[in-house]
Amino acid sequence: MNNLQVKTREVPNWITLLLAVACGVIVANLYYAQPLIGLISADTHMPLASAGLIVTLTQIGYVAGLLFIVPLSDLIENRRLVAATLVIVICALVAASLTHSAIVFLVAAMFTGLGSVAAQILVPYAAHLAAEGRQGQVVGNVMSGLLLGIMLARPLASFVTDLWGWQAVFILSAVITATMAGLLAFALPARKPSPTMNYGELLRSLWSLFTTKAVLRRRALYQACLFGAFSLFWTVSPLWLTHHFHLSQQGIALFALAGVAGAIAAPIAGRLADKSWTKRLTGLAIVIAALSFLVTHLATDTSALSLAILVIAAIALDMAVSGNLVLSQRTIYSLGNEIRGRVNGVFMAVFFIGGAIGSALGGWAYAAGGWMPASLLGLCMPLAALLYYFTERNG
C-alpha cells in the first residue's frame, strides 16, 4: 500500500492507539536507567564519578539516531525501518541485563538510545496516516502515549527493581519491545516514500532545513528551552525530595507518577491546533512553564502543603512541555510530506540537546547551591523562549 492509498481511507482508531502505546514502550527505554544509576554502577564496578555516562551515552545515541536514522524514513519503507531499529534496542537491552562489565553496559546504553528513535519514525508516520484536518488530533493522541512512556519509565523502573532487581527492568523491556515490534510489523499499513535524493544528499539537507525553514527553527528552539527546563526539574527534584522532604525511593517514584497527569495536555493541544489556536497556546505553555518554577519557591518548609505545591508545579510543567510539543509537531509537519522525516529528526535533535543541557546545568547548580540556583536556571529557560516568542509575527 503506498502513501496515496493510505490517505484514501479513514485509519481505524485502534491503529492510532497501537502507535501511541508503541511510542510509549519504545521511548521509555531512554529513562529506565536514570533512577538506577547507583545500583548499576555498583554491580558493574563503574566508578560513581563516571556513572553519569549512562545517561550521557544514551542521549548521545539518541541524538545520533535522530540525525542519521530518522531521516531514512523519507527513503525507506517505514515498517521495515522501524523493525530494524527495534532489533537494535532489543539486543542492547538483553546485553545490558546480562553484563557485569561497565564498558559493555555503557555501549549497550548508547545503542539503546540509538534504536529508540523508532518512536520518532512512528510519530510522523501517524501524521501520514491521518486525514487532512485531523493531523493535530492524531499526533496529539500518539504523543500522549510517548509522553506517558517518558513519565512512567522512572517510577516503573524503581518499582520493578524493588521487586526483582535492576536487571529485570531491562529483561522485561526487551520482551515487551519484541512483542511490540511483532505487532507493528503485522498490523501497520505500509508507507513507502518517493525519494528525490540519496542518503548523502538527505543528510546534507538537514542543516539547510534548519537554516532556511524559519518555522522549524523557531519551533525547535521553543521546545529546546522548555525541554531543558523539564529535564532540569526532573534531574534536580529527586535530590531535593530526598534532602529537603526526606522521601524514600518509593516516595520519589510516587511523586513522579503524579507528574504523569501533565500528559493530558497532549491530545487537548492537538485538537486545538487543528482549530488554528497554535500561537496563543504556545505563549500560554511558555508562561505556565515559567510560573511552575516560581511556584516552587512557596514550598519553603517540609509540610504536606509544600509537597503538594511541588506536585502542582510538576504537573503544570509537564502539561506545558507536552502541550507545546504537540503544537510544534503539528506545525512542522505542515512543511511537506516529502521532508517530514528529516524535519522531525532535526526538530527532535535540537530540543533533545536542550534537554541534555538543562539536565547538566541542573545537576551542577544543585551541587553548588541547592534548589534556589537550580530553579532560577530552570526559570531562565522558558523566559528565554518567551522573549523569542515576542518576535513571532505570524500564528
pLDDT tens, position by position, 152-205: 898 898 888 888 999 999 999 999 999 999 999 999 988 888 777 888 888 888
* Final residue before a domain boundary, out of 178, 195, 212: 195
Average pLDDT over residues 90-115: 95
Residues 136 and 244 in one domain: no
- All 3 cell numbers of residue 364? 551542577
Among residues 93, 124, 81, 123, the alpha carbon closest in space to that of 29 is found at 93
Task: Determine the 3-state secondary structure of 329 from DSSP.
Answer: helix
- φ/ψ region of 23 (left if φ > 0, alpha if ψ in -120 to 50, else beta) reads alpha
Among residues 176, 160, 19, 173, the alpha carbon closest in space to that of 108 is found at 173
DSSP 8-state symbol, 245: S
Residues 186 and 211 in one domain: no
Average pLDDT over residues 21-46: 88
Query: How many structural domains does the chain have?
Result: 2
Residues 154 and 225 in one domain: no
Rounded to an integer, what distance in angstroms lies between the CA atom of residue 16 and that of residue 31? 24
pLDDT averaged over the chain? 86
pLDDT higher than threshold 50 for residue 319? yes
pTM score, whole prediction: 0.79
pLDDT higher than threshold 60 for residue 300? yes
Rounded to an integer, what distance in angstroms lies between the CA atom of residue 202 and that of residue 206? 7
- All 3 cell numbers of residue 280? 496563543
Residues 252 and 393 in one domain: yes
Residues 49 and 147 in one domain: yes
Residues 299 and 317 in one domain: yes
Among residues 140, 148, 141, 84, the alpha carbon closest in space to that of 117 is found at 84
Residues 55 and 146 in one domain: yes
Give the pLDDT confidence of 121-162 residue by residue, as tens digits. Answer: 998 888 888 777 677 778 778 878 888 898 889 889 888 888
Average pLDDT over residues 217-238: 90
Residues 270 and 326 in one domain: yes
Q: CA dihedral defined by 359, 361, 364, 369, rounded to 10 degrees?
A: -110
Residues 315 and 358 in one domain: yes
Enclosing domain of residue 37: 1-195
Q: What is the CATH number of the domain that holds 217?
A: 1.20.1250.20
* Final residue before a domain boundary, out of 195, 221, 236: 195
Residues 129 and 209 in one domain: no
Among residues 177, 67, 187, the alpha carbon closest in space to that of 125 is found at 187
Residues 148 and 205 in one domain: no
Residues 221 and 189 in one domain: no
* Final residue before a domain boundary, out of 143, 178, 195: 195
Judged on CB neighbours under 10 Å (0-12, 13-18, 19+), 301 is: exposed
DSSP 8-state symbol, 259: G
Alpha-carbon radius of gyration of the chain: 20
Rounded to an integer, what distance in angstroms lies between the CA atom of residue 191 and that of residue 11? 13
